[in-house]
Structure 1
Amino acid sequence: MGEGVGKVWNVCIVGLGYWSDVHFRGWQSVPGVNISAIVDLDSAKLKAKADMYGYRPEQLFTDLEEAMNLVDIDVIDIVTRPDSHLELVSKAAMRGKHVLCQKPFAPTLAECEEMVRICEEAGVTLMIAEGWRWHSHYRKLKEIADSGALGAINFAKIVAKWFFTPTFGDPAKMTQPYFRGMERLMLYEMAPHWIDAYRYLFGDPKAMNAFYTRVSPHIIGDDLAVLLFHHEGMTGMLEAGWASREFAGSSFEQPAGENLMEYVWIEGSEAGLRLTADGVMELIDADRTVRRIEYEPHNLQLSHNRLHRHMIEALSESREPETSGRRYLNVMRIIETAYESGRRSDPIG
């Protein structure tokens, strides 16, 4: 699938909603990339983005097929709702275009598998726009864990807490008001980030158990979950909540002030590794000496710049992206298994 180093890659962005600016800036940070077209059903959004980023009228489209007919495009970046992904990915692949697809991948595992099949048969790359594993702290955690400094890892957990869904009382004040009516919410919408980061650090679990529930009265889906992962010689855990004050006051926050924070603990036979909710990383040696680990400061946009660059590098060098569609299927399988496991929680006694 590779097309060589030095090529100018023409990108078409489809979907100009809440998250699209992160993608615009991500592509603009990659040398050798040209955004040749933008597509959205809403003409007003097209004009607004054209004014913001300086695109010409002949680069604006309300139909993807028309854009592919009239403009030179190598990569289609799909930044739309998940229920549109199968149709858009299929159209792109059938025209020989590589695809970067926003997460969540699709509403069902069957649709995800179908997109992977279509792209593989068409001979194009399908990559999921999963940015969490590209955060500076996860790259540093991975570097240390892989160095052997911790010894054999026997336990790990990611705790992710955000006071979010209790603020959903007024849809007019929400950037994504459709969250209120989603039957599958946090595990489907946000947990892919944490699950993929977990897989990046520790690989795919062999088995799992899960519990999930609803806390906020303003939603119908889940906003609290605990997942237990079983590996050979290791146990892992994801504790996630969208209605928690646990990390309130911590400084490790998103640039937009969304107050999304995480805590990571990795236990090894020789040492432990900790990322606090304030973004402080520490190595705890066998004698319990605590040593601070420096790393590049957390930046949400930077993680997306890295994933966009990674896709172009993978295409140029004929290699599979870290979050290729096929590899990312396991994220969706874990989510499906979590929902199924949570539905059949075993009573005690």
Structure 2
Amino acid sequence: MPPKSNTEVLFPKLQYLPRDPQKYSPQIALIGCGGITEHHLAAYQAAGYQVTALCDVNRQNAEKRKKQFYPEAQVFTDYRDALKLADIEVVDVTTHPDIRPAIITVCLKAGKHVLSQKPFVLNLDEGERLADLADKSGVLLAVNQNGRWAPHFSYLREVAHSGMIGDIAGVHCGVHWDHSWVKGTAFENVEQLILYDFAIHWFDFLTTVMGDQLPQRVYASTAKTSSQSIKPALLGQASIEYENAQATLVFDGHVPSGSWDRTLIAGSRGLIRSAGRKLASQQIELITSEGSISPELTGTWFPDGFHGTMGELLCAIEEKRQPSHSARNNLRSLELCFAAVASSLSHLPVEPGTIRKLM
């Protein structure tokens, strides 16, 4: 084995790509076959996962996904019929959040491991109930926070946890793009579209980066642009205070020409930053007192993020442990998200955890 280069010693390689189980290969059922599931199934197919049941109240949706990805899968309009299949061990629930908890409850009681679409719940107490039910049923419940396995987010997080840049003092993210594509879809009716449905990825990223450091207060706001044509506000921002750190998240969702995404994590020994015109193509620079590197990452958020969420759940089942994106873990991200939404409505700082329901 050749000796390691100086760069490899100073900046060791990090495991940021999705993992697959070594031997565990369960049969998976998908409940809900809407637009986002094209990315779920593309990732599962590429990873070699077995999806053997597709469920949707609109049979045409399930038949379409069957033809696209898993021609041998069975199709159901009532997900309860799929749960009766003894070989189904894992269920991916992708429905909208208002009806999802009832479906997850039935799946957990049936003894199935569950991957829930994000955002997980509209009520933190309900989320805790589902986490308790999973424990009682002896199964695992994880949340499809697919942004955790977007290559740049995953690499930045691993650098932060490695200690290479020291104690984290600041996390600053900005997303500038056009989100008006939701016009005419169900998402246009989500009043807090930016801070809830979209920004949950960034609240979750922040939560994972900060680890045991708990947020003390969050101040957030939203606004409509003068020229936007959809109902929800397309501008949002949040400032989060920690005892020894700070974070800012900025979302400009009405940039019709061009886009830009940036993330910076500052620590006591250095910093790491990523930026690019698209979330799928980010340039990264890691700077410490020992020098700097600009690693070239492989993969893209879509579909690798979806590979990561299911892969981590399957690995956790095989390794008999809780997944890193467990329901309980994700509730911390939702606490931050709910507090930001409440702050944007009250124009006052809010302590995360005090807001139990999405307002």
TM-score range, shorter chain: 0.7 to 0.9
Kept after mapping to 2: 8 A contact 1:83/1:107: yes
Contact in 2 for aligned 1:128/1:324 (Cα 8 Å)? yes
| Correspondence list, 1:274-313, <5 A | 274-278=273-277, 279-285=282-288, 291-313=293-315
Match of 1:89 in 2: 104
Specify the alignment match of 1:68 in structure 2: 83
Instruction: Tell me the SS of whatever aligns to 1:18.
Output: coil
Aligned with residue 153 of structure 1, among 155, 163, 168: 168
SS at match of 1:277: strand
Q: Is the 8 A contact 1:36 1:72 kept in 2?
A: no
Alpha-carbon offset, residue 330 of structure 1: 1.1
Which residue is 1:316 aligned to? 318
Give the TM-score, by structure 1 length.
0.84
What is the rounded CA distance, in whole Å, between the counterparts of 1:71 and 1:37 in structure 2? 12
Whether the 8 Å contact between 1:109 and 1:336 is mirrored in structure 2 is no
Which residue of structure 1 aligns with residue 224 of structure 2? 214
* Aligned counterparts of 1:79 and 1:5: Cα–Cα separation in 2: 26
Give the conservation status (yes or no) of the 8 Å contact 2:51–2:70.
no
Offset, 1:95: 0.7
Q: Deviations over 1:166-186 (max 9, x none)?
A: x556x2xxxxx1122222211
CA contact (8 A) 1:61 1:67 kept: yes
Question: What are the Cα deviations for residues 180-222 of structure 1, in whole angstroms up to 9, with x where unaligned?
Answer: 2222211111111111111122234233222222336433333
1:47 corresponds, among 63, 87, 94, to 63
Distance 1:55 1:184, change over 3 A: same
Which residue is 1:253 aligned to? none
Number of residue pairs matched by the alignment: 322
| CA shift in 2, pair 1:123/1:345, >3 Å | same
TM-score, length of structure 2 as denominator length: 0.82
SS in 1 for 2:305: helix
* 2:141 alignment partner, one of 126, 131, 141: 126
For each residue in 1:6-63, what CA deviation from the matched residue of structure 2 results, as whole angstroms up to 9, or x when unmatched?
A: 34301100111101121112222345x4212111111222222222234347x11111
Equivalent residue of 2:84, what SS?
Answer: helix
The alignment-based identity, stated in percent, is: 25
Asked whether the equivalents of residues 5 and 317 of structure 1 are also in contact (C-alpha less than 8 Å), the reply is: no
CA gap of 1:111–1:184, structure 2 versus 1, over 3 A, is: farther
1:263 match: 262
Structure 1, unaligned stretches of length 5 or more? Answer: 172-176, 250-258
Counterpart CA distance in 1 for 2:210 and 2:103 is 32
Say if 1:207 and 1:229, in contact at 8 Å, map to a contact too: yes
Equivalents in 2 of 1:6, 1:276: separation in Å? 37
CA RMSD of aligned residues (A): 2.5
2:105 counterpart of 1:102: no
Measure, in 2, the Cα distance between the counterparts of 1:155 and 1:6. 40
User: Counterparts of 1:284 and 1:218 in 2: how far apart (Å)?
Assistant: 42
Change (3 A) 1:159 1:56: same
CA distance in 2, matches of 1:29, 1:126: 23
Change (3 A) 1:63 1:13: same
Indicate if the aligned counterparts of 1:37 and 1:71 stay in contact, CA closer than 8 A. Answer: no
2:53 pairs with 1:37: yes
1:10/1:180 CA distance change after superposition, 3 Å: same
Following superposition, the deviation at residue 5 of structure 1 comes to 6.1
| Equivalent residue number for residue 30 of structure 2 | 13
